Structure 1
């Protein structure tokens, strides 16, 4: 039986997060059905569009809901073209016997590089100066912070935190790390008190909700800077706004927030002391292609009857196991 795969990406998402090379690779292993609706599909709409398909490849705008899994009897696997599977109801997929897979992180360098760019911009006022010139005004000279004499505090020592730390040290920065898995971890509030720039790279877990709230911002040096490259729910936006409004913090840079698609909230993004980017830290061709090609490899394994790498509920993938045994 030829494997049929539904690629859920709209055309803009396809161009930004999948690409022709990955599509060509996918077509070597399966018949591909594209999303031609122009809309991100959810629930029953996704199920109807994927009717007759054995696999769905979902972009970050396409959730895997219980309603979808309940109405796609032919579906064997739901492949997330990203690391984050928080929008997939894995329990519902498992109950339906559907395999869920995730991609490996191909965006480590991309996120770390944007982080360095945001830090340099924050401490040297690049955006402000460029904006003034573009508006026909002469910008004022502004005293900057020299990073080779500054302390960077990184909360979260995963792959991105490690890469960011390596780049910062190469620039001459003193680097402090807070991570419970790290033997030499610096206590959270001690790190905040010593850091000229604090970067949030902690995982988004129930216990880290609003990790950066009023108490955390109060613990930071007066005149320090805050950067969020992780997830919006880690930051209490009202507390951040208050810390900026009271000038306890000199500025903030946000690539993520609590708005749609994890973008920064408009109320913060429009402030003169905030540099905001629309959740683009991992948006490079190299990073996107890495994760797209992971789904190609997963579909290839599925077509060959092998359990794909990146499976998160292998023991509950009853439909895949039945296919393996010719059921």
Structure 2
């Protein structure tokens, strides 16, 4: 019984062994994205992480479950998986602590931008120039996407004395009590015009690709701060750069990018008005530990022949799950 994870940790202190803590008897292999096809033999469960799982990969393997160790499945060919009898499941951000961890990072990026922390740190090195910054007190914050991450953000920002407006696909679902009002996507331009801080925390989909582009940034309040902790494909990076260089946006905090890793020479990597982090929003020890528990439970559920929880498909003819080895009792002692 074997799991293949297609994403080695770059942090030497991290180990994928945590994923086996609730899966006795299972083995785990780790490979790079370009090595997936060479490591599929005997694999029962595939963990894609940020990598592409194509029709070719699905057809080359015999695995019956693609289980994400998080939420994102936009690079998995779900239609091909369904056709091949492979379940595809995620772990909800609200249950793993992912949403809380991402929200923490978003708040940190907001504060770094609003309080001009990069400039303040540089000021000390240059001889104590004191930059005067903004504050969240009395500001207006737009949270675009009020799912698990957006809700966790609103909860954390409620103590900062700011006014919050939520934008979501289904505004009738409402939001946390700390959010003053919740509107639909049609009202996004009007919300942007009054927001000092704009946070993208929505779910990526074909409909939200480049949701933030030249027209959207032009609708922002001049000098606004833009934060993206959702997915890189939701932002037109060329339009973002233009908005930063023109001063339409004062700062951007980015934890996600269209292409990851972000090329070292990319203009966003060392832009003086960009706080860039390498997609670490959800990568906390508490999130990894809770995810290991839910991951193990869902794999064992699938192994028992039950549909996995949080599946995004329902293959009509699922591939068989591995059968656990039969336990043998110790042989009886022969009487003398």
Give how far 1:25 is off: 1.9
Report if the CA contact (8 A) 1:264-1:277 is conserved.
no
Contact map agreement 1:243 1:249 (CA 8 A) in 2: yes
Quote the residue 1:91 is aligned against. Answer: 79
User: What is the CA–CA distance in structure 2 between the aligned matches of 1:83 and 1:244, rounded to whole Å?
Assistant: 30
- TM-score w.r.t. structure 2 length? 0.83
Q: Contact 2:100 / 2:149 at 8 angstroms: preserved in 1?
A: yes
The residue aligned with 1:215 is 215
1:249/1:176 CA distance change after superposition, 3 Å? same
- Partner residue of 1:24? 21
Are residue 109 (structure 1) and residue 100 (structure 2) matched? yes
Aligned to 2:48: 58
> Do the aligned partners of 1:262 and 1:279 also contact (CA within 8 Å) in 2?
no
1:283-307 alpha-carbon deviations (Å, 9 max, x no partner) = 1111122223322112211332322
Q: 1:64 touches 1:87 (CA, 8 Å); kept in 2?
A: yes
CA drift at 1:98: 1.7
Residue 210 to residue 81, structure 1, CA distance change in 2 (3 Å): same
Moved over 6 A (4+): 262-265
User: How many residue pairs get matched?
Assistant: 310
Alignment of structure 1 residues 1-327 onto 2, 5 Å:
3-10=1-8, 12=10, 16=14, 19-26=16-23, 28=24, 30-35=25-30, 39-42=31-34, 45-61=35-51, 63-73=52-62, 75-105=63-93, 106=96, 107-133=98-124, 136-183=125-172, 184-186=181-183, 187-261=187-261, 266-320=266-320
Q: Is the 8 A contact 2:89 2:311 kept in 1?
A: yes
Q: Give the structure-1-normalised TM-score.
A: 0.85
From the superposition, tell whether residues 285 and 268 of structure 1 become closer, same or farther in structure 2 (CA, over 3 Å): same
- Deviation (angstroms), 1:7: 3.9
- Measured in 2, the distance between the counterparts of 1:209 and 1:34 equals 33
Deviates more, 1:146-155 or 1:291-300: 291-300
**Higher share in helix:** 1
CA–CA separation in structure 2 for the residues paired with 1:60 and 1:49 = 17
Structure 1: tracts of 5 or more residues without a match: none
Q: 1:236, CA displacement in angstroms?
A: 1.6
Q: 1:66, 1:92 within 8 Å by CA — same for their partners in 2?
A: yes
Matched residues in 2 for 1:111 and 1:199: separation? Answer: 12
User: Tell me, what secondary structure is at the counterpart of 1:290?
Assistant: helix
SS in 1 for 2:203: coil
CA contact (8 A) 2:66 2:88 kept: yes
Shift of residue 71, structure 1, vs aligned partner: 1.8
